[in-house]
Structure 1
């Protein structure tokens, strides 16, 4: 099993990361990336703790592997896997949407359904073993750049200088690709980039876009253009948990044949998530993490209310009660999904309906919960000074004039600074956008829920009434 030292050594390479308009020399030397890298390294060390070994890892013969790779053969195995997700999420308060266990889960699911990949099935199996044995940090990009969404992706194809990632040639060594992929979250700190799908439904003749493969982040011809950093010295959350989002740019990158999973196949590009249980397996990890994150939000709201003595106000307790109920419903969806596990190849997967319902309910309510936290803290969010490198004289003033009902002035400032980061900072805004849109357009997700329904079964009660022997309106 890998430790933080191994991980730091692996990412200290010549990867091309553009951040704030400049090429990053070494990611661990970047003030914008180092904090998040340290958190990921801490997760690797956490997996090595002997008191957690039975929960965060499993033994396959003489070798120990991360728990996410253990094949879930029944509901009990899914539950055990979920406990590992929870421990890892609690270490980062649920803020790392791309912790290593996220894609470990998906790589394991791909392996369980490797036969579906046809002639590339062995590539999937080898990739699984590569990631599992090395405990590698994999991130992904499943969508092409937004560009002109009024046109089909296939109509934007051009081999001269592509925008959407596409095939531009091949030889005996592999497939050559050019173009870009968006939402490669945490790519600057990952070992591997997994590219699948297209983000939009491909037409049956969109062969150049029907691709799936993996490459090391430091591959020649691959670079990443990052958004601006939210990390800063006075931001307690962002400096540790700001996961960098990036666009991956491929400039005539050669993908070795042994790393190809889907080639010139629009159908498989469209269907891989459904066929391999992507949303169900990954959804369990996501819902577990979201619950931890939601509990942290509830904890902050409760602490703020207690700090300023408003827990006796009915409008405040109602807000905290609504947040608590939101989490209860989300947890119920997760529990139901596990206890009603469905067959999925040689394994089982969480029940699709409950996972989908839990994800949608959490994502819909998250912005509302943030608004409630904002209303609980109210004007205090605007009157929270920075205490980073503050002088002794002002610290004494803050301690006296910013004290609360149950908390000293400095502690209250630190607490309200966290609430402000969650509700009013660029970091907090990104967290909200991520939770709402990382799984795709919400309207499409609800439409998919409708399309999965057995309409005859749904209509059965009303059809029974309409066909009753005695007319309803005699």
Structure 2
């Protein structure tokens, strides 16, 4: 059943070893750098119980009310409902939050599609994934994603350097496996659990590698240490940095110091084929909410740019309109890929409604690769006052306030305080430390850009264009033979494949 905000806050154990700025944090819910996002997550839980939010953010099945974001998608209607719920939530909180849970639960749905692969090693593992999908749904847990390891020297196999550079199993017990290593996880310090899995396909020559392990980690488990980057909240007044003080999601190096993972939480272990399948399908569903968040960020850029040019009448200039149109085309390109991926969705191996993979991944490439240019274009539209406007204290001062009132008031509609608020918002959205962090995060949040392109390559239907050209050029049948893939190519590309038909063909060939 859906939680309340107070139930979520109670789930954050005071015993966690959380560190920021070199100091131990005893209560993340009260710490100034964690509190803003903890409060937002608690508010989202409370919204699920309140009118008019509940109708959009929850659904009822067999008498139980659950979060719409965690609903297993069996139809196109489910995806439309998810999209409406996320849009409503972001609009209501007044900003973009990447990690709230709905964007990571889809990673487990991908493993549900690979139940046969997991069952090859141990039938229990296939059952574990279904159990955990149900657990997240019924207990309304805040789940994050644990992907990136410190990695160490990437030119060397993990076995040839400090073994803890990649998370691995050090021993087995009757109760479960003991793991050691570290993972970077956004929002881990104030989440309930993490889907933890390997990030690379090179486990050496060991088919049963201890690095090929995936599991659900209870973030209150003994032996975990949370070493967080310094947050942006509280560095400067909220009036000057309204986004950084409300929406900074703290990233964490989670250290696994011989942590016990119970067998019922293990999803695969010492099975490189299962690990490769997981990497191949990881973003099959989660890319959709990830793209939706970039869409909402783009809406914020368009709104900030449009307000800035309209307040001075520059929106009548053709050059300005063209730049605004470029932003609109970028935004609608993302919107079109999201819409089309659902309109042309297909059933997955587990019977779920899977967004069209080629369209979804192409949309991700467009959104991430063009985002830096769109940020720069928005800076251009917002103008130089974004970077030179004094702070709120200067506007409030008896000595300087009257002068700023004089020079920042345009007319009865645009008074100085509203202009200051708009320019502060745009500065924080585009130019601040928080803005730079968000841009880097979006580029790498769902793996590096080169793997985005690899996913497109592995999921695009190349046969269609080739067949068209074969017919148009009157080529012989011999030129349309099956494409061969070398072992070296396979090692690099196989784990990016997401299309279930391609995966099935490759696995059958092996």
State the TM-score, normalizing by the size of structure 2. 0.86
Is 1:249 aligned to 2:255, yes or no?
yes
Offset of residue 154 of structure 1 = 4.0
Matches for 1:58-457 after TM superposition, within 5 Å: 58-93=59-94, 95-111=96-112, 114-118=115-119, 119=123, 120-156=125-161, 158=163, 162-182=164-184, 184-205=185-206, 207-232=209-234, 233-234=237-238, 235-274=241-280, 277-344=281-348, 345-388=350-393, 390-404=396-410, 406-457=413-464
Structure 1 CA distance for aligned equivalents of residues 400 and 220 of structure 2: 47
Aligned with 1:246: secondary structure?
strand
1:198·1:269 contact (CA, 8 Å) conserved in 2?
Answer: no
Aligned with 1:224: secondary structure?
strand
Aligned with 2:381: secondary structure?
helix
Offset of residue 430 of structure 1 = 0.9
2:213·2:271 contact (CA, 8 Å) conserved in 1?
Answer: yes
Structure 1 residues 113, 13: closer, same or farther in 2, change over 3 A? Answer: farther
Q: Which moved more, 1:284-293 or 1:90-99?
A: 90-99
Offset of residue 363 of structure 1 = 0.9
1:185·1:243 contact (CA, 8 Å) conserved in 2?
Answer: yes
Deviations along 1:22-52, whole A, 9 cap, x unmatched?
1112102211111111111111111112333
1:187·1:246 contact (CA, 8 Å) conserved in 2?
Answer: yes
Aligned with 2:255: secondary structure?
strand
Structure 1 residues 115, 49: closer, same or farther in 2, change over 3 A? Answer: farther
Structure 1 residues 393, 3: closer, same or farther in 2, change over 3 A? Answer: farther
Offset of residue 130 of structure 1 = 2.2
Offset of residue 84 of structure 1 = 1.7
Deviations along 1:120-177, whole A, 9 cap, x unmatched?
122222222222222110111122214222223343353xxx2211111111111011
Structure 2 CA distance for aligned equivalents of residues 64 and 26 of structure 1: 30
Structure 2 CA distance for aligned equivalents of residues 202 and 138 of structure 1: 27
Structure 1 residues 42, 392: closer, same or farther in 2, change over 3 A? Answer: farther
State the TM-score, normalizing by the size of structure 1. 0.92
What root-mean-square deviation, in Å, do the aligned CA atoms of Structure 1 and Structure 2 show? 2.1
Number of residue equivalences: 463
Where has structure 1 moved over 6 Å in runs of 4 or more? none
Offset of residue 94 of structure 1 = 5.2
2:13·2:220 contact (CA, 8 Å) conserved in 1?
Answer: no
Q: What 5-or-longer segments of structure 2 have no aligned partner? A: 477-510
Offset of residue 6 of structure 1 = 1.1
Structure 2 CA distance for aligned equivalents of residues 422 and 311 of structure 1: 21
Query: Hey, what does 1:472 align to over in structure 2?
Result: none
Q: What 5-or-longer segments of structure 1 have no aligned partner? A: 470-474
1:202·1:270 contact (CA, 8 Å) conserved in 2?
Answer: no
2:177·2:261 contact (CA, 8 Å) conserved in 1?
Answer: yes
